[in-house]
Amino acid sequence: MASLEVETRPVPPTVLDANYDKRLMIAAGRSSEELGGKIAGRLGVGLTNPGLKTFSNGELYCRYEESIRGADIFLVQSTAGNARAGLTANDALIELLIMIDAAVGASAHRVIAVTPWYGYSRQDKKSAPREPITARLVARMLETAGISRLLTMDLHAGQLQGFFSAQTPVDHMTALPMLSQYVHDQLGDVNELVIVAPDAGRVKLTRNFARKVGAPYALMEKERPAHGVAEIGRVIGDVKGKVAVIVDDMIDTGGTLAAAARTVMDEGAKEVYALATHGVFSGNAFENLSNSPLSGIVVTDTIPIPDGAPDMIRVISTADLLTESIRKIFTDDSVSEIFAGENQLF
């Protein structure tokens, strides 16, 4: 009788091999390609191409050009406009959502959204009846798309972190140590400085910043009668004969900042500078700021700066800070150690 040969197949292992190494991958949306490239370079990995394009009808498309199965993929995309890439803020948000969905569908192990600028962050509460809380809506959209966690920087308000569920951790970074170091290095004797809060909502942030710099602080009285309109009242504190440094989380149209700078100078300051993490610079911002008494403005690269920026604006990079944060998240180390636990500034 003929013998039967039975084909044997190897039994798949029930656990991962001990030498298994999880992969770290970085991809960037078109709003943050330059920043994403800097981060990837510092981590020593190539920037993964998400294959983004815009169809003729304005719809967006994404297809990763390499396998991301089993990887921790960090998607770098500030939800801000980028005129050079032809993106509006809404385009950037939808592009990020599409990148997240594609990564989840491609079986990435973890999908971490790196949004240095969190768009719609100013719509964090109801100021009038029948208004949306759009910052909360964006959080729900990101979670529904499938992010594992969010890495962001200098949120407009602390409660934004509470818009995410407990299953979606939010790692909050701050550029204030970088900006305070710039003040130490570039603006001279701290005894001649005064740090100025642009409104009451920034007092705690300004106080922490002033403590780091070793200078006193003052407060500007401001009212906002309508969206995009601010009325500067007076300065509470002594700025006479001082170099005033206005510190805020963002600069948008620049109108409020220009008015604040004029008020500070009218109160007797000999010079005034402005520092902010996010340089939105929309509308007539460059014109407003160029015509103001500001001696200089420093922002970071969380948002790509539009073309035509005046020479008074200096940009410092957050790439090193974000790189170290990503490294800590990937290795499951403490992110707050980077800031000695002082990254919750609200």
Q: Which residues contact 221 (CB under 8 A, 6 or more apart)?
A: 199, 200, 232, 233, 234, 235, 236
In angstroms, the Cα distances linking 115 to 224, 280, 330 are 27, 14, 16
CATH number of 176-316: 3.40.50.2020
SS3 329: helix
The tokens 């009218």 sit on which residue?
266
In the annotation, is 222 catalytic? yes
Burial class (CB in 10 A: 0-12, 13-18, 19+), 25: buried
pLDDT in tens, 161-179: 999 999 999 999 999 999 9
pTM of the model: 0.89
- Collapsing DSSP to helix, strand or coil, 139 comes out as helix
Q: What is the 3-state secondary structure (H, E, C) of 240-257?
A: CCCEEEEEEEEECCCHHH
Choose, from 126, 212, 222, 328, the residue flagged as catalytic.
222
One fold for 24-174+320-339 and 176-316: yes
The domain locations on the chain are 24-174+320-339, 176-316
pLDDT in tens, 11-41: 454 444 444 567 999 999 999 999 999 999 9
Give the lowest-confidence range in 148-162, 220-234, 319-333.
Answer: 220-234
Q: Which CATH number fits domain 24-174+320-339: 3.90.1150.10, 3.10.450.50, 3.40.50.2020, 3.30.70.890?
A: 3.40.50.2020
Tell me: pLDDT of 188 over 90. Answer: no
User: 203 pLDDT band (50/70/90 cuts)?
Assistant: confident
